[in-house]
Amino acid sequence: MQVGTLEVKPGMKTRGFLETPGYANALKARVPVLIAAGEKPGPTLSVVTGQHGRELNGMEAVRRVFDQLEPATMSGTFLAVPVANPLAVRLRQQDFSDELARYLSTCRNTNMNRVWPGNAEGNVIEQLAYTIWNGIVAQADCAVDLHGWTDLSLGLVWADERERELARVFGYGIYMVSQYAGRHNHNLDTTCYDNGIPSVTAELPPQNVVHEDGICMGVRGLTNLLIHLGIVEGTVEIPEDQVYIMSDHVEYQLQAECEGLLVPVLKKGDMVAEGDLIAQIVSLETMEVAQEVRSPAQGLLYNVGFLRMEALAHSSILFGGETVALVKEVLKA
């Protein structure tokens, strides 16, 4: 197996780099790669994390898994790019060069997860995607894309319906079964689908900082997949109370009727019944409860708090019409 300029041989465990094929807007970039090749033949698991500069838990999860791998006991190969977008990571923002471009229709989208499989003659982000795709992802029997969103929401893992078992064995409390056919949106997961590569995508909250909960979710997920694929030996760990949703599931968006201070009563991950009190909104003038936010149905409390774009700090000050919480109807796995 060839990974960039590295020739990967059985029993090899090494670190190296992949570099973009040329300069784009006076920039050239390189990404680190981690490689562990088993003594015995087997499938290849390729992992990409750090597409977005605020999503850090996947990086540490990949490092921990790589450190514990022993090629002598492996049947297959682990390939990982822990920092896929080194420019955005070093800027401490989602995208390079401007994370606000994803929200403004007048600006070019700089979101790395919209340019796969990349372009050797494109801008620096397109060149990075091209380099990672051809060096790492295209060689995979299974690909993993690790992200990380706000800690106001639960972590979530998903895969196409034909690969739903990958989402299940990743070992989250909740997973989603999606439909990729015909989407062609240049996300990494749908690009894998179009090229016949099974893949799974996971969100490891929170953003901006490394957090042990998010790291452990990633470590367990990657370890489970390595076991499931037969690359390493072990027992897959899955929560007994695991639930799942379809991509077209029923979701209730609970909104504030007035301005005020959001005071949660329940926490994300709680199962709720119809009528359960989720949060209160306290008036900023009288300091009395101005609204009780109750669940409209039985389900999983997936989010508590107002979600803002990545570039803005979260706040518990709400205005009328803003989302307070999300409740999802779930199915028992």
User: What tens digit of pLDDT does each residue of 74-103 get?
Assistant: 999 999 999 999 999 999 999 998 777 777
Tens digits of per-residue pLDDT, 278-297?
999 999 999 999 999 999 99
Q: What residue type is 53 in one-letter code?
A: G
pLDDT tens across 198-235, in order?
999 999 999 999 999 999 999 999 999 999 999 999 99
- Predicted TM-score (pTM) of the model is 0.94
User: How many CB atoms are located within 10 Å of the residue 229 CB?
Assistant: 20
What ranges do the domains of the chain cover? 2-243, 249-332
What CATH architecture does domain 2-243 belong to? 3-Layer(aba) Sandwich (3.40)
Backbone angles phi, psi at 50, to 5 degrees: 80, 25
Residue 217, classed as helix, strand or coil, is helix
What pLDDT sits at residue 246?
Answer: 97
Which of 141-163 are b and which e, b meaning 16 or more Cβ less than 10 Å from the residue's Cβ?
ebbbbbbbbbbbbbbbbbbbeeb
Q: For position 108, what pLDDT does the model report?
A: 63
Percent of the chain with pLDDT over 70: 97
Cα–Cα distance for residue pair 130/115, rounded to 1 Å: 9
Spatial contact of 193 and 199, defined as CB atoms under 8 Å apart: yes
How many residues does the structure list for the chain?
A: 333
Model confidence pLDDT, tens digit, residues 136-172: 999 999 999 999 999 999 999 999 999 999 999 999 9
Check for a shared fold between 2-243 and 249-332. no
Where b means 16+ CB within 10 Å and e means fewer, 80-110 reads bbbbbbbbbbebebbbbbbbebbeeeeeebb
Which CATH architecture best describes the domain 249-332?
Beta Barrel (2.40)
